[in-house]
Amino acid sequence: MARNIEIKARIESVALLTSRVAALASEGPLEIAQDDTFFNCVTGRLKLRAFSNDAGELIFYRRVNQAGPKESFYLRSPTSSPETLRESLSLAYGQIGRIRKYRTLFLVGRTRVHLDRVEGLGHFLELEVMLVDGEPLEPGVREADDLMEKLGIQRDQLVEGAYLDLMLAEKR
């Protein structure tokens, strides 16, 4: 399974951070609309990410809910029929939520920087420092911390869980 080090932070506005990220980026921006459907899964999280009617990916991942940099294990499986797969998985496992977002993606070295506008939740920054097989966590954590500092992200802006967790908490 692939691994990365992740952080997620609430930000005031994607527009306010875009130029700062672009100045550090080696690639981007790439604009992506995403429609994520989460399904019941006892061993981690299972979501179907649809990009369009004929492109998507099923993503299984596991990570702890903590505010700081955290390790995430994931496996992605492309699909050319996300709507049919969503229906099948919904019938088999049951949906627990759906998140729609508009993402601006940059690459800063080996880190994917996501500037997300999440429907009903607001604006967020995600960092994903890609790790190679067998690499210890510490270099990735240092890279995430360094990039957070360069972008002016404070510890009190960090979010522990997934967008789904935030959405479900707001519904309570």
Is residue 167 scored above 90 in pLDDT?
yes
Residues 49, 56: contact at Cβ < 8 Å? yes
Angle at CA of residue 76, ends 148 and 98, nearest 5°: 75
Given pLDDT bands bounded at 50, 70 and 90, which one contains residue 170? confident
d(CA 2, CA 109): 17
| CA distances in angstroms from 147 to 17, 27, 50, 59, 80, listed in the order given | 13, 15, 29, 26, 35
Measuring CA to CA, which residue among 71, 67, 59 is closest to residue 4?
71
Specify the CATH number of the domain 2-171.
2.40.320.10
pLDDT reported for residue 132: 95
Residues paired with 77 in a beta bridge: 58
Given pLDDT bands bounded at 50, 70 and 90, which one contains residue 24? very high
Measure the N-to-C terminal CA separation of the chain; round to a whole number of Å: 34
Is residue 53 scored above 90 in pLDDT?
yes
